Each structure stands twice: as C-alpha cells, then as structure tokens.
C-alpha cells in the first residue's frame, strides 16, 4: 500500500476556506481551538478515497483520530450500522442540533446519532470547553444559532 498522498498547500487552503476553518464534525473553529486543523479524507485513502477536493474536509485532531478509516458507525437507538455524516454532501442542520445549553451535539437521524457516537462529538473535555465558549458568547456557531432561530 502506498503512503498517504500529500495535500498541496493551495488545495488545503481551498478546503479550509470552504469548511469555514473549523472541524466539519465537532464544529470547533481553529480560531477558538488555537491549533491548526487537519485535512481529512471523507472516504479514507485506505478505503480507496482520493486526495481530491470533493473528498476532503477539515477535522480537528481528535475527530480525525476517532474517525480513522471508518465510513460507518452504529446508531445507538436502532443499533443498525449506517454511513457517517458527509460534510460535503449533507446539511449539518438536517442531522444535528445543539442541546438547549449549546454544549452538546444531538444526532437527529440515524446518520447523525452514529456520527456523534463514533466520533465522540460530546467528549467531556470538549463539552467543558463549549460551556466556557457559551459563557463568553462564542458558541454555538453563529450560523447554526441563526438556523435554530429560523426554525422557531
């Protein structure tokens, strides 16, 4: 098996810009996290995914590690294996919502629930950080707050 393909700098910047410079899964922005996000293969290279823009997104180190080479996860309610959420093809608001406190991601669909569970999107240290971010008005992300307000 060949090594991982290098992501050219310009391609990385296009993907980061499209992703809003935040993790596609836990939604943490680089500006709050204080560290550079990774370019993540939605379909992992180990499963035949290509290093092309339509297969790349941004992920924080933890989400990228928990995802690994997975493309499926188990929905904790139905116990069925389903495809993980694809940030390039699916709208976040159709599969996820913020808890009332704004600190936890709730899966709304089997895909959303499987993604939350598999990638551990509500890991304790991240929920604690979000709690602080909520207190200073940085969280939840503005566009997702706007979506929630629009749905009222």
Q: Is residue 142 part of a domain?
A: yes
* Interval 50-66: pLDDT, tens: 999 999 999 999 999 99
C-alpha to C-alpha distance for 88 and 71, rounded to whole angstroms: 14
Q: Would you call 38 helix, strand, or coil by DSSP?
A: strand
Q: Does 101 fall in a domain?
A: yes
Q: With beta carbons less than 8 A apart as the criterion, state whether 81 and 113 touch.
A: no
- Residue 1 belongs to some domain of the structure: no
Q: What is the pLDDT of residue 146?
A: 43
| Domain membership of residue 145 as a residue range | 9-150
Position 76 in a domain: yes
4 in a structural domain: no
Give one DSSP letter per residue of 42-100, joined into a string: SS-GGGT--SSGGGEEEE-HHHHHHHTT-SEEE-TTT--EEEPP-TTTS-HHHHEEE-T
Contact 68, 62 (CB under 8 A): no
Q: Provide the terminal-to-terminal Cα distance of the chain, rounded to the nearest Å.
A: 51
Q: 1 pLDDT exceeds 50?
A: no
Assess if residue 72 is contained within a domain.
yes
Select from 112, 78, 1, 7 the least CA-distant residue to 47: 1
Q: What is the pLDDT of residues 107-144, one digit of tens each?
A: 999 999 999 999 999 999 999 999 999 999 999 887 66
- The pLDDT tens digits of the residues spanning 34-48 come to 889 999 999 999 999
* pLDDT of 5: 72
Q: Please give the tally of structural domains in the chain.
A: 1
């Amino acid at each position: 098996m060949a090594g991982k393909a290098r992501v050219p700098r310009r391609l990385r910047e296009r993907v980061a810009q499209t992703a809003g410079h935040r993790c596609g899964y836990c939604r943490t922005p680089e500006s709050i996290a204080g560290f550079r996000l990774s370019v993540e293969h939605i379909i992992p290279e180990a499963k035949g995914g290509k290093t092309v823009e339509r297969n790349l997104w941004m992920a924080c180190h933890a989400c990228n590690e928990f995802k690994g080479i997975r493309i499926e996860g188990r929905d904790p309610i139905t116990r069925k294996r389903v495809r993980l959420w694809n940030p390039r093809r699916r709208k976040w608001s159709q599969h996820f919502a913020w808890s009332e406190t704004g600190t936890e991601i709730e899966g709304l669909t089997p895909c959303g629930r499987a993604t939350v569970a598999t990638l551990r999107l509500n890991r304790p240290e991240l929920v604690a950080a979000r709690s602080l971010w909520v207190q200073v008005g940085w969280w939840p992300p503005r566009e997702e707050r706007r979506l929630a307000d629009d749905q009222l």
